[in-house]
Structure 1
Amino acid sequence: MEAQTGTEMGATQPDNGSGTTRGYNFDDQRPPKPNQGILVHYILRFVAFLLTFISAVVLGAAKETVVSSNSTIENGIIKSTQFAAYVYFIIANVVVFIYSLVSLMLSIANRGVLGRFTVPLSIGDLIMIVLLYSCNGAAAAVSILSDNGQLSTGWNSICTVLSKFCASIKASIVLSMFAGVIYLLFVVFALVGNQRQLQIR
């Protein structure tokens, strides 16, 4: 009678004190589970890329024609590029848009294992937070003044006349704020990951 190998029937190991044997099946190799954290990382970076792109395009194209004697309107057309805060908003979102694309490509190329890119990307994410929150604050301040006006300084409300223009501004700011929240999550995740590594060590 031929002996059956351990790989066919499973190797046995005596159980201390009980006299029974315990079988191990070496052929039972389960496929590794996909890393869901890496997939979420890809999705968030793509969403940040998309949000900043749409935000910059919508605000950059925001304009409306109106008949008014307001000094801020040139040739009957008001544009977002006539406001310094909105120009800063557009530039900042374009910078974050380019960074989001580059960081996403690096993440995909390295299959989520960034290695030496981990620290530079964390620093870059923190810089993107500063850019987004600062430009959102500046654009939101001008948007509030445009919507409500400020009689003490002679700034009249223009959103009652330029409703389409103001709606585009508000939509851009909201999208950019969501992108800022995503980058804030990146920094939080990096801090939590570093803390776990320190606890393991």
Structure 2
Amino acid sequence: MSDAGAATIIHVDDGSASAAGKAPATSSSYDTARATAAAPQRKAAGSGVPFLLRSGGDGLGGCMGLMDFVLRVAAFGPTLAAAISIGTSDERLSVFTNFFQFHARFDDFPAFTFFMVGNAISAGYLVLSLPFSAAGIIRPNAAGAVRFPLLVCDTIMVGLLTAAASAAAAIVYVAHEGNLRANWVPICMQFHGFCQRTSGAVVASFLAVLVLLVLILMAACTIRSRRR
């Protein structure tokens, strides 16, 4: 009885299952083709957006490159002004008659000569580094190859400027305050113009040192982020 009452089930393949199975593959192939065709359009549309407004690494690299360029221009001004100011520091002080004069000139102090040369070298370097900084703005993806040499040169310039400014600052301090133990009188009581120019040059040089330190930190952070 159980064998006679059992129904026989015959599976008939009418093609619907195969069609249903092939449909996702056909849809996936169609989506892939659409994505491939739309990729050049998205790339072309993205290329028209300014690099500072793009999302992702290119926009960040472009912003850092622009800041690097602006800071180099900002550091060039103080170094050039300091070199010119110290190089034109010359004052004569007449006592009683014009035949008896005291003369204060920057090359009377070796520290001031070193200061002028150091700031002139730094100013020239900053001008020469501007094209390399601009290359980092135009091609942010290739900025890593430019940042490392600039980082090394910036570090050298910081050392040079710090040494020159520190040596000049010591002379300026003695010129303002003197030294009682060595019986050195403060000459700034008489040579007002000379001391004002040299003091301003030292301040400008230290400002350039601070800007270069910021450039070094920025370059180090950029190189580290690109190596991750």
Interval containing the TM-score (normalised by the shorter chain): 0.7 to 0.9
**SS in structure 2 opposite 1:67?**
strand
User: What fraction of aligned residue pairs are identical, expressed as a percent?
Assistant: 25
Pairwise CA RMSD? 2.7
Cα gap change, 1:109 to 1:33, in 2 (>3 Å): closer
Partner of 2:184: 155
**SS in structure 2 opposite 1:94?**
helix
CA contact (8 A) 1:64 1:162 kept: yes
CA contact (8 A) 2:148 2:219 kept: no
Partner of 2:149: 120
Partner of 2:223: 194
How many Å separate the matches in 2 of 1:43 and 1:116?
Answer: 20
Correspondence list, 1:87-166, <5 A: 87-109=113-135, 111=138, 113-166=142-195
Cα gap change, 1:99 to 1:189, in 2 (>3 Å): same
How many Å separate the matches in 1 of 2:120 and 2:199?
Answer: 17
Given candidates 82, 87, 107, the residue that maps to 1:81 is: 107
CA contact (8 A) 1:159 1:166 kept: yes
How many Å separate the matches in 1 of 2:63 and 2:148?
Answer: 21
Q: Does 1:36 align with 2:63?
A: yes
Correspondence list, 1:42-53, <5 A: 42-53=69-80
Q: Does 1:183 align with 2:212?
A: yes
Length-normalised TM-score, structure 1: 0.77
Q: Does 1:62 align with 2:94?
A: no
CA contact (8 A) 2:147 2:223 kept: no
- What count of residue pairs does the alignment treat as equivalent? 175
How many Å separate the matches in 2 of 1:164 and 1:104?
Answer: 34
Give, as a single letter, the amino acid of the residue that structure 1 aligns with 2:196: A
Q: Structure 2, unaligned stretches of length 5 or more?
A: 1-26, 29-34, 53-61
Higher helix share: 2
Length-normalised TM-score, structure 2: 0.68
**SS in structure 2 opposite 1:76?**
strand
